[in-house]
Structure 1
Amino acid sequence: MSTITDPTSAVASNAPSAADELYEARNEGLALPGGRTLSYSHSGPPDSELVVLWCHGLFSVGDTAKPNQAFRKRGVHFIAADLPGWGGTSPMPSGATFPETFLSDLRALFEHLYPAYDAATSKLRIYVAGGSFGTCPAQIVCGAPYDRFPYGRQIVALLLAAPMTPFHEDVHYGRSLTWRDWVGVGPPARVLPFNLLARVVKLAIQPKLKDVPAAEKLLRAMYFDHMTDEEKVHFAAWRERSGAQEGEFERRMAEGMVKSVAGSWAGFLGTADALHADWGFKIEDLDEEHAKKRVVVIVGTGDTSMFRMSRYLVDNYKNSKVVEIEGGHLAGAWSMDKIWEDTFAELEGRSPSA
């Protein structure tokens, strides 16, 4: 499907200053119950009260290297974990669902990073964000009951780039999907036995992710070769703002793609089940405390499936706004730095000087 890779890796693509060692990514592993391991990356001051949690998309991993200027100006503690079965994180336990595994992993991570947390006195302000497939776990953690993820009380905003709806709630989700996406993760993916469709796709894609040059070739063929002239202008402007060299963004995405399946394809093979899983709540039924959190929906006008699904999210989240950007699946990446600045300015006050 068109969500093959993470459209907003660019959330972490600005060149840091040479003196800012705090924003060199620290990539670590956390032992979990049952012999599983959670792989995660974080950068920025670990004692910061302003936290951004990033949920990556398909064929990507948690990456907090080179965060944007808005994060560094605000002193954000930037956290991104590999989702279950992707990168260095162990596959889900047998019989477990994606939502319960993800929330359990995330709770263990936050208990590790913030062991002294007390909901009554904590001054943490957490922003949760995700790109493409990653908007599903981002929404899961934002809407989760607080007994399952106590740190959720500190979540103030949710940013969804190239967003997807909860299929178990959006009964008309199939109408939003392109034909290719409908076959890949829609009803056929749930009906055919032995996860047949996903295994066929794996066989087709696996040789194209054997190394970084092969992955970059696939990436360019899927996205960059089809950019409109206007989107290319936005991409070039973003590179200039961020200090990224030509080809750097594509190479880093390709590196993440290879790393995401180097140890296991379990995450990919579980994609359809994850998208169709019951999140444990419905957006329309969220209580007042959950519903008041700010929701920013970012979508490219040419990103057919995600653009259609964004309508459902904007209509159902009570405190939402939409940012539409000319372009395709990656269009939001070239504006995420500005969107973060605007969101912080709205919810944290006037932006500090550089």
Structure 2
Amino acid sequence: MIRSVERQGSTKAQDGRTLTFIERGDPGGVPVIVCHGTPGSRYTRHPDPELYERHGTHFVAYDRPGYGGSDPQPGRSVAAAAGDIQAIADELGFERFAVVGGSGGAPHALACGALLGDRVTRVGALVTPAPSDAEEFDFFAGLAELNIKEFGAALEGREAIDAYIQPFVDAMQADPDSVIDEIASELPEVDRAIVSREEFRRIMRQSFAEAVRQGVRGWSDDDLAFAKPWGFALEDVDAEVRLWQGELDVLAPRSHGEYVASRLPNARFELLEGGGHFLDEEWAVVLEWLAARAAV
């Protein structure tokens, strides 16, 4: 019989910052560390709380710097996530582990595949954005208007992105459903149907509330990290990678996932016909794949 856990924890990064995380699933299962989206927190999870243990995973979600209970790290790069994830893995005694990220979390997961060597068994990337400095690539093509405005502000710098995000943070703290509805208004029907589910909304409310506990910090720093070079080359991701991409996604469009996949040396790209940004139905497949190459 599997003894499932849901346990809060924290550790210190190499520079002394606090990192907060939560463990779920099978404590004896394959270690999987997840990178949440932008914005997000360790409370982002699949609506089925038993999914992680069913697929034999010790699933660990953490707050990136400035989100939730994790101390901020102004000026951080996407690549900086690798060091934080290594610190969490060390705290939990994971010699080897898989990493997965969705949306804004996907580039941070890829950083681990480039920078942590053989410690990373596999990397899963769902609906990933492409690097903003990608050559011969139209970063803004196919993006929802909200994302175009947000990323445009990030390109202008901290003052502009803080000012753009602050009203959303205020709304998330006062009436998170209003933000969820505003985001949903720009999404395809397949995503709106998922967002309308009460359990999905409940998880989003909890994750958003925790994400903005420190105000704009984590969110702004994410966007500023995306607006500059990531700190590693996609061609240097040595780990085996599998990408899942919704055909109709407008928050991280298909062209982004295809670009990233084309630059990775050991990747498989899965286009989900009729799929959008929220790929809850795919997570069983994702976890099966991540766990198939068990850490040793």
Q: TM-score range by the shorter chain?
A: 0.7 to 0.9
Kept in 1, the 8 Å contact 2:11–2:18? The answer is: yes
- C-alpha RMSD of the superposition: 3.2
Q: Does 1:60 align with 2:26?
A: no
When normalised by structure 2's length, the TM-score is 0.83
Which of 256, 261, 264 aligns to 1:314? It is 261
- 1:126-150 deviation digits (Å, cap 9, x = unpaired): 2211111111111111111xxxx3x
Q: Does 1:153 align with 2:101?
A: no
Q: Which has the higher helix share?
A: 1
Greater gyration radius:
1
- The separation in 1 between residues aligned to 2:79 and 2:244, in whole angstroms, is 26
- In structure 1, the partner of 2:127 is 162
Which of 173, 180, 186 aligns to 1:210? It is 173
Residue 321 of structure 1 aligns to which amino acid in structure 2? Answer: F
- The separation in 2 between residues aligned to 1:37 and 1:205, in whole angstroms, is 25
- Partner SS state of residue 225, structure 2: helix
- In structure 1, the partner of 2:107 is 136
In structure 1, the gaps of 5 or more residues are 1-18, 118-123, 240-245, 349-354
Q: Does 1:300 align with 2:246?
A: yes
Q: Does 1:22 align with 2:1?
A: no
Which of 107, 110, 117 aligns to 2:89? It is 110
- The separation in 1 between residues aligned to 2:142 and 2:261, in whole angstroms, is 17
Closer, same or farther in 2 for the Cα pair 1:230/1:82, shift >3 Å? closer
- The separation in 1 between residues aligned to 2:111 and 2:15, in whole angstroms, is 23
- In structure 2, the partner of 1:11 is none
Task: Give % identity.
Answer: 19
Q: Does 1:263 align with 2:214?
A: yes
Equivalenced residues, count? 290
- In structure 1, the partner of 2:148 is 182
Residue 89 of structure 2 aligns to which amino acid in structure 1? Answer: F
1:1-354 equivalences under 5 Å are 21-23=3-5, 25-32=6-13, 34-48=15-29, 50-63=30-43, 71-92=52-73, 96-99=75-78, 101-114=80-93, 117=95, 124=96, 126-144=97-115, 149=116, 152-170=117-135, 172-176=137-141, 178=143, 180-186=146-152, 189-190=154-155, 192=156, 195-211=158-174, 214-223=175-184, 228=189, 232=193, 235=194, 247-284=198-235, 286=236, 290-291=237-238, 293-304=239-250, 305-318=252-265, 319-330=267-278, 332-341=279-288, 343=289, 347=293
When normalised by structure 1's length, the TM-score is 0.71
In structure 2, the gaps of 5 or more residues are none
Closer, same or farther in 2 for the Cα pair 1:294/1:100, shift >3 Å? closer
Residue 129 of structure 1 aligns to which amino acid in structure 2? Answer: V
Q: Offset of 1:225 from its aligned partner?
A: 9.0
Q: Offset of 1:274 from its aligned partner?
A: 0.8
